[in-house]
């Protein structure tokens, strides 16, 4: 491709709404353009990178025995009503109507459609297992679209679904997909880590996320350097018994009211009472719905003052589809507790109380007295009701690893892929069954496996850049080589560059040739911004039959003979393109 003819407009200016480096660089390099909030045009250069990622995905999925198909993006409402997700999916689903007022959505995901397909096509165990996938456009009306393609509303996803007759078969396919994902992200040149992930309220299922480690990541992950345990904080566990000392025997004293006028934070209160934060009991108020006639249930959660509460764990424990805090002005009326000085003693009896396991290790602790400026001390579990205990801890850096006890580290990650053992969630609700060897009808077992294609491309930019621009990993670079003609009015240089361009094309090298009549500095800046891995510049050495060779990720500049260029370039590409 000649730069002079390419549809590329670069810019020095950072776009106003781009908060993270990859978004800024993709905009400045003219690789993406915003059409509307969360809706982007993928420009030709980025499209080349995306197509390479898609081909890596295809080759690994096919090698793992998966078969590609294409499902529609506009999906009839009926299927979603059958599984209940027409309502449950909430406002992320874009609902549309046709001319006859029939309801559809723009597919945010395809479990319903694929399960419907399989329930019609599969009769017998002989047709299973099977893994099907597509690479296709999704729409999710995200609350906060941001960061360019990272959290878009319209985006490309590779979604795969597996169908099995047994959990052993599911385990096998899950392992295959896990391995395929590792191969895919390695081949895209990404530094990634696999973490245990939350699998929602459907207990027992396992789920892993593939995280590109980056400070701008929206997810927090914890990991253990000693035993390699790693998990999304939504799911992460710790060993609280190692944090909270063994409980002393309760003193036998009755709860006693203490005037605590200035103790508005946990820290202040611990200081004032002369106890550790771990011996204060925090209370939080949640609900599943705003309105009473939506089947609203209010609950109370209790946790030791030394920890933050993990709402995902609470939501899963309760089996709630939605979980939100009760506005503090409504707490007294709905719960019978006094916000800021709330506690479990004296709240309305019908309110469900969920306590974190940390409370089991606490004796003679402090709770709010449900009265302005008062707390109670010498409180024990026997002084109030708890409906259930569970793990509600938000794990943080320094907490002990649940597997080996070493201190956990924390980092941020971008979720590029997610694999999930679904079990029979969708086959049950849609009635997808097969006949087994004994002639018995059984529900089909399922797994699902997603990769964000645009997010993967942008993550590669987020991880591979410097002050001058993008530094593409070779396997997904839009072009492998940028050939730069430094002085286009110098006939020797021009002839040398034109010859080299033709030779490179003939040798099958993916090259963009900057033939524009611009200043060398300007062209070099563009070459750096675009991040093409190899730069070959034709300048004053052309008269001696020599050119400048430079890698985007290195400062070294080598002067090499024109006749060596093709071989050197080819060797570098071959070494790196299949990593
Ligand atoms: P997130 O927690 O980031 O919203 P998710 O759990 O909703 O992700 P999945 O439904 O598992 O995502 O989708 C599979 C993959 O699709 C994700 O791992 C991610 O790479 C990609 N993806 C999801 N939402 C978006 C989005 N809004 N923009 C770009 N890619 C996305
Ligand atoms: Mg999401």
Query: Do 365 and 282 form a contact (C-beta atoms < 8 A)?
Result: no
Q: What is the chain's alpha carbon radius of gyration, rounded to the nearest angstrom?
A: 29
Q: Say if residue 18's pLDDT is above 60.
A: yes
Q: Is 523 in the pocket of ligand 1 (CB under 6 A)?
A: no
End-to-end Cα separation, the chain, in angstroms: 26
Q: Which atom of ligand 1 is nearest to the CA of 140?
A: 27
Q: Cβ neighbours of residue 521 under 8 Å, at least 6 residues apart?
A: none
Mean pLDDT for all residues in the chain? 95
pLDDT for res 90: 87
Query: Do 535 and 482 form a contact (C-beta atoms < 8 A)?
Result: yes
Over range 367-393, report the average pLDDT.
Answer: 96
pLDDT tens per residue, range 487-513: 999 999 999 999 999 999 999 999 999
pLDDT for res 303: 97
Query: Closest ligand to 92 CA?
Result: 2
Q: How far is the CA of 103 from the centre of ligand 1 (A)?
A: 25
Q: Which of 61-70, 200-209, 366-375 has the lowest mean pLDDT?
A: 200-209
Query: In angstroms, rounded to a whole number, what is the distance separating the alpha carbons of residues 105 and 575?
Result: 46
Angle of helix 491-506 relative to helix 562-577, nearest 10 degrees, comes to 40
pLDDT tens per residue, range 258-316: 999 888 788 999 999 888 999 999 999 999 998 888 889 999 999 999 999 999 999 99
Phi/psi at 433 (nearest 5 deg)? -130, 160
pLDDT for res 485: 98
Over range 343-358, report the average pLDDT.
Answer: 96
Query: Do 448 and 202 form a contact (C-beta atoms < 8 A)?
Result: no
Query: Do 408 and 397 form a contact (C-beta atoms < 8 A)?
Result: yes
Query: In angstroms, rounded to a whole number, what is the distance separating the alpha carbons of residues 452 and 12?
Result: 29
Scan for tokens 């930019």, then name that residue.
Answer: 461
Query: Do 409 and 284 form a contact (C-beta atoms < 8 A)?
Result: no
Q: Say if residue 202's pLDDT is above 60.
A: no
Confidence at 257, pLDDT banded by 50, 70, 90 = very high
> For residue 159, what are its two tokens?
């979604």
Query: Do 479 and 448 form a contact (C-beta atoms < 8 A)?
Result: no
Q: How far is the CA of 185 from the centre of ligand 1 (A)?
A: 16
Query: In angstroms, rounded to a whole number, what is the distance separating the alpha carbons of residues 281 and 269?
Result: 11
Query: In angstroms, rounded to a whole number, what is the distance separating the alpha carbons of residues 281 and 536?
Result: 66
Query: In angstroms, rounded to a whole number, what is the distance separating the alpha carbons of residues 198 and 287?
Result: 21
Identify the residue whose C-alpha is closest to ligand 1 atom 6.
418
Total residues found in the chain within this entry: 579
Identify the residue whose C-alpha is closest to ligand 1 atom 25.
151
Q: How far is the CA of 285 from the centre of ligand 2 (A)?
A: 25
Identify the residue whose C-alpha is closest to ligand 1 atom 2.
415
Confidence at 180, pLDDT banded by 50, 70, 90 = very high
Q: Say if residue 204's pLDDT is above 70.
A: no
Q: Is 367 in the pocket of ligand 1 (CB under 6 A)?
A: no
Q: Is 450 in the pocket of ligand 1 (CB under 6 A)?
A: yes
pLDDT for res 201: 63
Query: In angstroms, rounded to a whole number, what is the distance separating the alpha carbons of residues 496 and 365?
Result: 82
Residue with the larger pLDDT of the pair 248 and 204: 248
> For residue 307, what are its two tokens?
């920890």
pLDDT for res 88: 87
Q: Say if residue 321's pLDDT is above 90.
A: no
Q: Say if residue 27's pLDDT is above 60.
A: yes
Burial pattern 28-48, b for ≥16 Cβ within 10 A else e, equals bbbbbebeeebebebbebbeb
DSSP per residue over 36-72, as a string? ETTEEEE-HHHHHHHHHHHHHHHHHHHHTT-EE----
pLDDT tens per residue, range 411-437: 999 999 999 999 999 999 999 999 999
Q: Is 174 in the pocket of ligand 1 (CB under 6 A)?
A: no
Q: Is 152 in the pocket of ligand 1 (CB under 6 A)?
A: yes
Q: Is 420 in the pocket of ligand 1 (CB under 6 A)?
A: no
Over range 99-118, report the average pLDDT.
Answer: 98
Q: Which of 77-86, 105-114, 244-253, 418-427 has the lowest mean pLDDT?
A: 244-253
- Say what the alpha-carbon torsion angle 255, 258, 261, 262 is, to the nearest 10 degrees: -80
Q: Which of 40-49, 204-213, 483-492, 515-524 has the lowest mean pLDDT?
A: 204-213
> For residue 3, what are its two tokens?
């730069």
Phi/psi at 561 (nearest 5 deg)? -70, 140
Q: Which of 28-37, 136-145, 226-235, 246-255 has the lowest mean pLDDT?
A: 246-255
Q: How far is the CA of 145 from the centre of ligand 2 (A)?
A: 11
Q: Say if residue 105's pLDDT is above 80.
A: yes
Angle of helix 453-463 relative to helix 21-28, nearest 10 degrees, comes to 100
Q: How far is the CA of 561 from the centre of ligand 2 (A)?
A: 52
Q: Which atom of ligand 1 is nearest to the CA of 456?
A: 20
Q: Say if residue 81's pLDDT is above 90.
A: yes
DSSP single-letter state for residue 400? B
Over range 323-338, report the average pLDDT.
Answer: 95
pLDDT for res 551: 98
* Number of neighbouring beta carbons within 10 Å of residue 492: 14
Q: How far is the CA of 452 from the centre of ligand 1 (A)?
A: 6
Coil vs helix vs strand at 294: helix
pLDDT tens per residue, range 394-410: 999 999 999 999 999 99
């Amino acid at each position: 491709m000649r730069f002079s003819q390419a549809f590329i407009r670069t810019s020095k200016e950072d776009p106003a709404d781009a908060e993270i480096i990859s978004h800024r660089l993709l905009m400045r390099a003219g690789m993406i353009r915003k059409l509307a909030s969360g809706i982007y045009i993928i420009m030709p250069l980025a499209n080349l990178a995306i197509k390479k990622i898609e081909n890596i995905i295809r080759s690994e999925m096919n090698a793992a025995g998966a078969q590609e198909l294409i499902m529609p993006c506009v999906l009839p409402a009926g299927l979603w009503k059958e599984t209940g997700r027409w309502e449950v999916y909430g406002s992320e689903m874009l609902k549309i109507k046709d001319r006859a007022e029939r309801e559809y959505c723009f597919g945010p995901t395809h479990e319903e459609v694929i399960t419907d397909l399989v329930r019609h096509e599969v009769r017998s165990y002989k047709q299973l297992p099977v893994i099907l996938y597509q690479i296709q456009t999704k729409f999710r009306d995200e609350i906060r679209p941001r960061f360019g393609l990272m959290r878009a509303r319209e985006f490309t996803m590779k979604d795969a679904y597996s169908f099995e007759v047994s959990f052993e078969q599911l385990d096998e396919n899950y392992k295959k997909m896990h391995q395929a994902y590792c191969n895919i992200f390695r081949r895209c040149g990404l530094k990634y880590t696999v973490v245990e992930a939350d699998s929602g309220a459907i207990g027992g299922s396992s789920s892993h996320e593939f995280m590109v480690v980056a400070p701008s990541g929206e997810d927090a992950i914890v990991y253990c350097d000693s035993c390699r345990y790693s998990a999304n904080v939504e799911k992460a566990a710790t060993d609280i018994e190692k944090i909270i000392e063994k409980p002393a025997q309760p003193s036998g004293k009755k709860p006693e009211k203490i005037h605590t006028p200035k103790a508005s934070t946990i820290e202040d209160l611990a200081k004032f009472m002369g106890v550790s934060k771990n011996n204060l009991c925090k209370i939080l108020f949640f609900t599943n719905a705003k309105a009473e006639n939506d089947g609203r249930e209010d609950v109370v959660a209790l946790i030791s003052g030394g920890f933050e509460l993990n709402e995902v764990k609470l939501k899963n424990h309760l089996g709630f589809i939605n979980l939100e805090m009760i506005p503090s002005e409504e707490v007294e009326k709905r719960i019978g507790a006094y916000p800021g000085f709330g506690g479990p003693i004296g709240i309305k009896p019908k309110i469900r109380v969920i306590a974190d396991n940390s409370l089991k290790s606490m004796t003679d602790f402090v709770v709010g007295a449900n009265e302005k400026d008062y707390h109670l001390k010498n409180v024990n579990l026997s002084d109030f009701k708890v409906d259930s205990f569970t793990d509600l801890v938000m794990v943080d850096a320094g907490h002990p690893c649940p597997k080996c006890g070493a201190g956990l580290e924390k980092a941020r990650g971008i979720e590029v892929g997610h694999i999930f053992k679904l079990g029979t969630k969708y086959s049950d609700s849609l009635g997808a069954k097969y006949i087994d060897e004994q002639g018995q009808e059984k529900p089909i077992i399922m797994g699902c496996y997603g990769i964000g294609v645009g997010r993967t491309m942008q993550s590669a930019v987020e991880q591979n850049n410097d002050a001058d621009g993008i530094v593409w990993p070779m396997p997904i670079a839009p072009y492998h080589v940028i050939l730069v003609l430094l002085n286009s009015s110098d006939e020797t240089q021009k002839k040398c560059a034109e010859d080299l361009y033709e030779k490179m094309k003939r040798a099958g090298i993916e090259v963009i040739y900057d033939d524009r009549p611009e200043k060398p500095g300007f062209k070099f800046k563009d070459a750096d911004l675009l991040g093409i891995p190899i730069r070959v510049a034709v300048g004053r050495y052309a008269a001696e039959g020599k050119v400048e060779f430079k890698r985007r990720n290195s400062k070294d500049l080598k002067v090499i003979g024109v006749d060596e260029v093709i071989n050197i370039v080819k060797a570098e590409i071959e070494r790196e393109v299949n990593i």
